[in-house]
Amino acid sequence: MIERTRWLDWLAHATVLIGIAVVTFPLWLTFVASTHAPESFFRGLMPFWPGGRFLENYEQVLFEGVQGVGGAPVGTMLANSFVMAIAIAVGKIVISLLSAFAIVYFRFPFRMLCFWTIFVTLMLPVEVRILPTYEVAANLQLLNTYTGLVLPLIASATATFLFRQFFLTVPDELTEAARIDGAGPMKFFWDILLPLSKVNIAALFVILFIYGWNQYLWPLLITTGDQMTTIVMGIKRMVNVADSTPVWPEVMAVATLALLPPVVVVILMQRWFIKGLIDTEK
Amino acid sequence: MEKRVVFRHRLLPYLLVAPQILITLVFFIWPASQALYTSLLREDAFGLRREFVGFTNFQRLFNDPLYLDSVWTTLLFSAAVTFSILFFGLLFAAMADRIIRGITYYRTLLIWPYAVAPAVAGVLWLFMFNPTIGIIAYVLQGVGVSWNHNLNGTQALIMVIVASVWKQIAYAFLFFLAAMQSIPKSLIEAAAIDGAGPWKRFRTIIFPLIAPTSFFLMVVTLVYSFFDTFPIIDAVTSGGPARATEILVYKVFRDGFIALDLGSSAAQSVILMLIVIGLTVIQFRYVESRVQYQ
């Protein structure tokens, strides 16, 4: 038996609670700031308790945008972010499922070449090929389009590997049975493989939704029009207003709106999230 | 590992991999080869003239004090970020591993910052460090530190480090916790019976057994600190003041996209590619070596 050391248990709880307090404090402060009038931030110390301007501030940013910044209302940005995040997550899952299916269930010339081509994407994040990728997108007339926002981001080595690993664990007997019953490859994929992959798909969707929602550099490069701004990239302009101090309550309302969807997804789908996170890195 | 039972079809497999391969070729491999090619050229900002200059761009880069400064800033930044993330991740995981009741709630409350976009995380901390209204600046003023990250480069660097660490502790925490909980209880119990106290058990059993996870986390966190922190830098400091927070990936963006120094930016891209390739290879070597533990 392991001895119970009382003071150590207390220390464990205390450390974790302090950690939680430190980690959660910025969120509380952000929310509090988003419910006050701008005047509350002229005096020295900011308030620690929510004020009475919750509705006004959120209404202002959602439907009209942050004062003095211009650009699209945050409602539009939120819509853009949702479209981008969901399209990226669904797109990545679909094309990874298909290519993993091909690589595991078929033997064809250049199979390994395909595998390594997909693998290479791991080594080439947007950040190291900014300019030439922008040029390609510009030449294909993809600037300021949803296609341009989404398409270049949906290649996914990690998702392909995850599905490949999973398909390899699916018993061969299932495939044989399906073949004896006269099912073609696509019928097998659709009726047997896909239902079996549900758990993996759900876990991956959570991770990829967060990935898509939090994209920054690529939307920054590819969109110039106000109507295409996503909320995560839009927030930068609200902070760096020329010649004046940012309207903090409204900026913090935008920050709250920007972080809420992915955070809610993580909290509600925690089990899938942890599975997805740990599986994709294996 | 390969499947014994496969389907036979001449065309179908190619159709299935086509979307992924096409996107990879068009948006990954072609741009990367372009970067490689451009790094050997000198081109004026309007793209009118190009000449082949060999490795001159690289030579210029390594003789450029601004680039060397940026390398130094990156090393400092990445070391601080990686170390802090691993330290706090391990600390919280080791403590949470002891807690039996309420662990799910604790875990939920600890991991949510992982979902926050780096740019938004940056803005949150920018607000708290704000010299006139920020709570942290206020507290620091109280203990005699005059905080102004708009003027003081070191302070700006500290601010982006704090924001980068805050966002990513959850990740290390989850992996450490998963690794610790997969250690067989019998090992720990055997050590306890032999009289090893909690600290000794951690040092001689738990820590060696989670070493592979630590190594893996170190590599992944290094990649994070090198590349994924771009939004924090861009949204919070834009590399300033006086280039104090200009890490390599930010410099590529700035030199290429804003200063339009194409040859130099391409050469910097190539160097960054080499870094990612190196780190990825190390990471996958780890995956292979880990098999032996199981």
Instruction: Supply the mean pLDDT for chain B.
Output: 85
- The encoded tokens of residue A253 equal 């309302």
Count how many Cα atoms sit within 13 Å of the Cα of residue B277 in the half-sphere of its side chain. 9
Domain positions in chain B are 69-293
pLDDT per position as a tens digit, A121-165:
877 888 778 888 888 888 988 888 888 889 988 988 888 988 988
State the DSSP string of B120-183. HHHHHHHHHH-TTT-HHHHHHHHTT----TTT-HHHHHHHHHHHHHHHHHHHHHHHHHHHHHTS
Q: Which residues contact B13 (CB under 8 A, 6 or more apart)?
A: A102, A106, A108, A111
Side chain identity, residue B206:
I
Determine how β-strand B50-52 pairs with β-strand B41-43.
Answer: antiparallel
The sign of the torsion formed by the CA atoms of A105, A107, A110, A111 equals positive
ipTM of the complex: 0.88
Instruction: Please report residues of A whose CB lies closer than 8 A to that of B249.
Output: 127-128
Helix/strand/coil for B8: coil
pLDDT confidence of residue B76: 94
Map out the domains of chain A with their CATH numbers. Answer: 34-280 (1.10.3720.10)
Instruction: Please report residues of B whose CB lies closer than 8 A to that of A42.
Output: 133
Count how many Cα atoms sit within 13 Å of the Cα of residue B62 in the half-sphere of its side chain. 5
Using the beta-carbon criterion (under 8 Å), do B24 and A130 form an inter-chain contact?
no
Rounded Cα–Cα distance for residues B138 and B143 (Å):
9
- The encoded tokens of residue A279 equal 């599986």
Backbone angle region of B238, left / alpha / beta, with phi > 0 → left and psi within -120 to 50 → alpha: left
Alpha-carbon distance B128 to nearest alpha carbon in chain A (angstroms) = 8
Whether A267 and chain B come into contact, CB under 8 Å, resolves to yes
* CATH architecture assigned to B69-293: Orthogonal Bundle (1.10)
pLDDT per position as a tens digit, A55-99:
777 877 777 777 767 677 888 889 999 999 999 999 999 999 999
Window from A139-148, A185-194, A252-261, B188-197 with minimum mean pLDDT: B188-197
Using the beta-carbon criterion (under 8 Å), do A105 and B7 form an inter-chain contact?
yes
- The DSSP bridge partners found for residue B41 are B52
Rounded Cα–Cα distance for residues A157 and A164 (Å):
10
Whether B178 and chain A come into contact, CB under 8 Å, resolves to yes
Low-confidence stretches of chain B (pLDDT beneath 70)? 1, 43-48, 287-294
What value does the mean pLDDT take over residues A210-237?
A: 87
Q: How far apart are the first and last CA of chain B?
A: 17
What's the distance, CA A181 to chain centroid?
A: 41
Alpha-carbon distance B5 to nearest alpha carbon in chain A (angstroms) = 6
Instruction: Please report residues of B whose CB lies closer than 8 A to that of A46.
Output: 133-135
In this structure, the dihedral spanned by the alpha carbons of residues B113, B117, B122 and B125, taken in order and rounded to 10 degrees, is: -30
Q: How far apart are the first and last CA of chain A?
A: 33
- The encoded tokens of residue B272 equal 């960054």
Give kind and range of the element (H or E) at residue B51: strand B50-52
Helix/strand/coil for A263: helix
pLDDT at A42 over 70: no
